[in-house]
Amino acid sequence: MKTRIEVPEDSLFGPDNLPYGVFAPEAQDLRVGVRIGEQVIDLAAALEDSVFAEPNLNAFMAQGPRRWRAVRDRVRELVDTEIPTAAVHLLRDVRTTLPVRIGDYVDFYASIDHATNLGRLFRPDSEPLLPNWRHLPVGYHGRAGTVVVSGTDIVRPHGQRRTSSGTPDFGPSQRLDIEAELGFLVGVGSELGTPIDIEEFDEHVFGVALVNDWSARDIQAWEYQPLGPFLGKSFATSLSAWVTPLAALEAARIPLPAQTPEPLPYLRRSKPWGLDIDLAVRWNGQTVAHPPYSRMYWSPAQMLAHLTANGAATRPGDLYASGTISGPEPDQRGSFIELSWGGAEPVAVNGLHRTFLEDGDEVVITASAPGPNRRRIGLGEVRGRIWRAHEAHR
C-alpha cells in the first residue's frame, strides 16, 4: 500500500525543507528519517537503502554532496507522488535521538554584538573587543561526549566559584545560562595536515542544527583565566534532533556584514555569505529574545577554514557551533547574561523578575529562514529543562 502525504501550505516543514533525523518507532531499532510536516519518512523503507538503517547520519553524510543531492531529489519526488504506507510515521509516535555520532565539538565566538556586550560587561574601562577578535574566528574545543539531543534534562553543574573574599568555594552554579547558537555538521572529513580551503565549505558541510550551549557563568568566570572555558561549558550542550541540509538554505544566503580590517587571504572567499535565520528564545513559555543570525561577523566557511588552518583533521559528524547569536537591540540578545546585563537588569518572565536559570526552568529555542517561493522553512527546536544537581563529592 502507498500513501500521499498532505502538508499544510503554511507548514515550516514542507517539501522545500526535508530535515534529516534519527528516530525509532515503538519497539523498533533506530534508523534515519526525513521530517515532512508532522510526519517522518523512514528512508531505509522508502528507498530500500541500508545506509539509512543506521543509528546515526554519519555513514550517509560521508558519501558526499553528489549523494546528498540525489537522495534529496528522490525524496522530493516521493513526497510529490506516493510513499509506501509502512515508511510513514506520525512524529508524535516516534522517539528521536542524537542525529549524529559526534567525534569533535568546537564552539566559536562569531557574533560581534555578543562579543561587544560581554566585553562591556567584563571590561567596562577597556575596548570591548580584544585585539585579535576582528582578525580570526575565536573559538575553543568543547566536550563532544556531553552533547545531548533536544529534550534531554540538564542537571545543574557543580564547580568552583569565586567568593567575595577572593577565594573559591565549591557548589552548584548560581548563574546558569543559555547560549542560542547555530551548529554546523561536517559530512565529508579531511586528512590530518590538510586544511580545508574556504572555497570548499559546501563540499564538506552537510547541514545545520540549532544548539543551546548551556553555560555556568560563575564557574566560568573563576576558571577561564588563563586557558579559557572548561567546567563552566563542558557539562551539557543541547542539539536539535533535526538537521537542515544546506540545500534547503539556498534562499537564506545573504552577504556578510562588512569585515574591517580585511581578513587574511585564507579567510577570504570569492563570494562570502552569511545566513538570514531568525531565532526565538522562550523561557518558561514566554518569548524573551529574537536573535538574528544575519548579524554574525564570521561566516560558517571562515570558521571551518580557521578550524583546519593548522592541519587539524575533521571527520563525519564533527560539530562546530557559531557561538551566541545576538543583535544590537536588547531583545535580540541570545544569552541571559546579556538580557539581564550581568544580573543588574532582571527580565520579566511570566510576571517574575528573573536573571539566571532556576531549577525547573525550561528553555526552547526555535528558528526559521527564507525558503523558495517566499515561504519560510523551520529548523528543529532545541529544548531543555533544568533540574537540581545531585550531591557532589567534595
Note whether 343 and 203 are within 8 A (CB): no
The residues, ordered by sequence, that sit 6+ positions from 247 with a Cβ below 8 Å of its Cβ are 68, 69, 72
For every residue of 27-45, DSSP letters joined together read TS--EEEEEETTEEEEHHH
Note whether 243 and 206 are within 8 A (CB): yes
Question: Does residue 99 sit in helix, strand or coil?
Answer: coil
User: Which of these is catalytic: 89, 114, 158, 204?
Assistant: 114
Distance CA 184, CA 211 (A): 10
Distance CA 109, CA 102 (A): 20
The residues, ordered by sequence, that sit 6+ positions from 281 with a Cβ below 8 Å of its Cβ are 178, 180, 287, 288, 289, 290, 291, 334, 363, 364, 365
Q: Residue 390: count other Cβ atoms within 10 Å of its Cβ.
A: 9
Note whether 113 and 30 are within 8 A (CB): no
For every residue of 211-280, DSSP letters joined together read EE--EEHHHHHHH-TTT--SHHHHT-EEE-S-BEEGGGGGGGEEEPPP-SSPPPGGG--SS-EEE--EEE
Place of cell 572529513: 189
The residues, ordered by sequence, that sit 6+ positions from 81 with a Cβ below 8 Å of its Cβ are 4
The residues, ordered by sequence, that sit 6+ positions from 275 with a Cβ below 8 Å of its Cβ are 182, 208, 249, 252, 253, 254, 293, 294, 296, 300, 369
Indicate if 114 belongs to the active site.
Answer: yes
The residues, ordered by sequence, that sit 6+ positions from 28 with a Cβ below 8 Å of its Cβ are none
What grid cell was written down for 123? 571590561
> What residues are labeled active site?
114
